Chains A and B, each alone.
Chain A
């Protein structure tokens, strides 16, 4: 990979950068590329948006039958 990163390289390194695993010249050129490249920065924002949404999705609540079953198991274990 040359010192100058192309979009294809930046896409491949995206998670490395998000995880703080890029260093030195690569980190520097990554940042410069992203600042000046609309499609790459847009892609990065979309990845982040996807994660935000995923994290914000409510989990289905526990079924009361499941809760009752777990509590019964715990009660039985306490007695047994």
Chain B
């Protein structure tokens, strides 16, 4: 068991013993994460808030039955994701998240390649010299660009990217929660990852040969 899981276990025990401060701690810590899940599913801030509130009720009621077969966060996220889906269906806002996976979409501009399918020298991705992650995280323009791009992603791409790349779910978990096949998940991930990279390139420079 990791230190994080041990801390979560202790927190759960305190909540089950009626410790109000522990419950506040959990809500304060996890609410933004759960809201991000719900927004990725519903793409509607109000519906997302409702889904998370309903989710908290279910989490609180079900906490005694939490079997620790996954992390606490994953268990809570599943509850909220399911609730968000249900509410979106009821509000007739639910569209299959992989609806656009079959339509063609280039992730790299075809004009970047020559007739042989090789990168044109003038279109090589630039080198981003000296741009360490720490330095980039201190660059507000960079952070705003990639956060903005995440917001703009189509629903399916955003949902899959959020669960797979930001929360570390595996493809089976995402498939079960979102009803998206593994191959369609890869299509959506491919497009979403390319768009995040492109947003970064818009700030740092798209092309340039050293």
Q: A42-B124, A49-B200 are in contact. Are A74 and B186 (CB under 8 A)?
A: no
CB distance from B72 to the nearest CB of A (A): 16
Contact present for B166 and A54 (CB under 8 Å): yes
- In the assembled complex, the Cα of A11 lies from the Cα of B171 at a distance in Å of 21
0 or 1 for each of B16-33: is its CB under 8 Å from A? (1 = yes): 000010011001110111
Smallest beta-carbon distance B100→chain A, Å: 16
A71 to chain B, nearest CB (A): 6
Count: A-B pairs, CB below 8 Å: 126
- Please state if B28 and A67 are interface contacts (CB–CB under 8 Å): yes
Residues of A with C-beta under 8 A to B36? 59
A7, CB-defined interface residue at 8 Å: yes
A61 to B118, CA, bound (A): 45
In the complex, whether B196 has a CB less than 8 A from a CB of chain A is yes
Give B106-119 as 1s and 0s: 1 = Cβ < 8 Å from A's Cβ atoms.
01101001001111
Query: Does B150 belong to the interface (CB within 8 Å)?
Result: yes
CA distance A19 to B194 in the complex (A): 15
Within residues 19 to 51 of chain A, which ones have a CB less than 8 A from any CB in chain B? 19, 21, 37-40, 42-43, 46-47, 49-51
Residue from A11, A21, A56 within 8 A of B107 (CB atoms)? A11
Give the shortest distance, in Å, between A50 (CB) and chain B (any CB): 4
Q: How many residues of B contact A (CB 8 A)?
A: 53
Contact flags B45-76 to A (C-beta < 8 A → 1, else 0): 00000001100110011000000000000000
CA distance A77 to B29 in the complex (A): 21
A46→B107 CA distance, assembly (Å): 14
Q: Assuming the A-B contacts A47-B194, A53-B200, are A67 and B31 also in contact, with contact meaning beta carbons closer than 8 angstroms in the complex?
A: yes
Q: Which residue of A9, A53, A61 is within 8 Å of B137 (Cβ)?
A: A53
Least CB distance, B161 to chain A, in whole angstroms: 8
Q: Given A11-B107, A15-B186, A71-B24, verify A46-B200 contact (CB < 8 Å).
A: yes
Q: Is the CB of B28 within 8 A of A39?
A: no
B125: contacting residue among A14, A43, A54, A66, CB under 8 A = A43
- Excluding A8-B117, A54-B146, A71-B23, 16 further A-B contacts by CB distance (< 8 Å) are A7-B113, A39-B125, A40-B119, A46-B125, A46-B200, A49-B197, A54-B165, A59-B36, A60-B32, A62-B28, A67-B27, A67-B28, A70-B31, A71-B20, A77-B61, A78-B60
Mark B residues whose CB is within 8 Å of A: 20, 23-24, 27-29, 31-33, 36, 52-53, 56-57, 60-61, 107-108, 110, 113, 116-119, 124-125, 127-128, 131, 133, 136-137, 142-143, 146-147, 150, 161, 165-166, 171, 182-183, 186, 189-190, 193-194, 196-197, 199-201
